[in-house]
Amino acid sequence: MWTRGAVLRGAGTEYEIVDLEVVDPGPGEVLVEMAYAGLCHSDEHLRHANPGGRYPIVGGHEGSGVVLATGPGVTGVAPGDHVVTSFLPACGHCRYCASGRSNLCDAGATIALGQLPTGTYPFRLDGEPLGGFCMVGAFARHAVLSEYSCVRIDPHLPLDTAALTACSVPTGWGSAVYAGGTRPGDVVVVVGLGGVGVNAVQGARHAGAAFIVGVDPVPMKREFAGSLGATHTVADAREAAQLARELSRGTGADVVVVTVGTMSDEVMAGASACVGKGGTLVLTALADRPREGIVALSGQVTTVFEHRVQGALFGSCNPFRDIPALLRLAEQGRLELDALVTRRYALDELGQGYRDQAAGETVRGLLVHG
């Protein structure tokens, strides 16, 4: 079949809306008609560089839609099912899945290529095979995914806000709750209050943090974080470090979560200064390229104050456990999803959506297919 989607032909290029051929789903594969896709900053990283990957590639990894067809051997979903995409496939059998670390599943080895675990490239452009970012390609109206990347959800749930649970919500929430290990009474600092950071605020609130300090230079984002549970908001990490010391009565933050759009030396230095004795520094932010945003720490301070540095991929969440759980919390009114969507965009407005994001005008933009 044929579909429309947004493709990047190379690093530094703009998204191009093209006609794509979608391959038939093979063994273990699922054809999904996408309904919505979140405009995540990770796709901006893809536009700037794709280390270890290949171009052209279909963008988008935070999506929701309806299953149209399944290939042989698929048992987890059936035609008509509503699904949220997982940008990290979870096979359930490798040693990482078996030990409760499905966010590190071996099936995700080719996400930068967009190649499915079966070796299939799900799209063709001008006769050449190409992949979807993170094995998803949610910026296309139709896509073939691995069964490992499809999380079935209840059909009564709205697909628009459900799409956010594909990435930004669990990544932020889990960064505070799982990777950071926030406990009741903690002082938590969240550096960067975009689509991931505001959900780290929600996670810290759920975990019982006594004080949550949100850090962002954009006033709108600080105000929004306050509506989701941040007890204090400041414009820069220097202010946050001083505030964390005051709120903790001198020791500093128990948990610092870094969720800025692009990691840098300056961000790292500011975040490190917020960490208190015995505290945990959670690194969720990415740089465009592996050699950028190098993490530098004082060995003596890290040792003497027993600082813990923890990377967080997908917030250390399990997509098949945590996506449904977060949607249940939202149904109960204990997790905000609706307000996270600042603006909605058609496919041909995708570039404008990312310009709005870069200008600090959105918390989460949402691509509406159809």
244 and 265 in one domain? yes
**Statement: residue 292 has pLDDT above 80:** no
Residue-wise pLDDT tens digits, 74-128:
999 999 999 999 999 999 999 999 999 999 999 999 988 999 999 999 999 999 9
Q: Which pTM value belongs to this model?
A: 0.94
Angle subtended at Cα 260 by Cα 284 and Cα 263, rounded to the nearest 5 degrees: 75
Buried b (16+ CB within 10 A) or exposed e, 298-337: eeeeeeeeebeebebbbbbbbbbebbbbbbebbeeeebbb
Task: Flag whether pLDDT at 295 surpasses 90.
Answer: no
Domain of residue 122: give its range: 2-166+336-368
- The total of structural domains in the chain comes to 2
Q: Does 327 map to a domain? A: no
Q: Which residue from 115, 117, 113 is spatially nearest to 105, judged by alpha carbons?
A: 117
- Asked whether residue 105 falls in the same domain as residue 223, the answer is no
304: left (phi over 0), alpha (psi -120 to 50) or beta: alpha
**Cα separation of 259 and 127, whole Å?**
39
- CATH code of the domain in which 224 resides: 3.40.50.720
Q: Which two tokens stand for residue 9?
A: 């032909």
Q: Which residue type is seen at 1?
A: M
Q: Is the pLDDT of residue 47 over 90?
A: no
50: pLDDT strictly greater than 90: no
* 284 in the same domain as 143: no
247 in any annotated domain: yes
Q: What is the pLDDT of residue 293?
A: 60
Same domain, 212 and 146: no
Band (22; pLDDT cuts 50, 70, 90): very high
Summarised one tens digit per residue, pLDDT across range 304-324 is 889 999 999 999 999 999 999
How sure is the predictor about 139, in pLDDT bands with cuts at 50, 70 and 90? very high
Instruction: Give the whole-angstrom CA distance, residue 190 versus residue 237.
Output: 9
Whole-number average pLDDT of the chain = 94
Residues of the chain with pLDDT > 70, as a percent, come to: 98
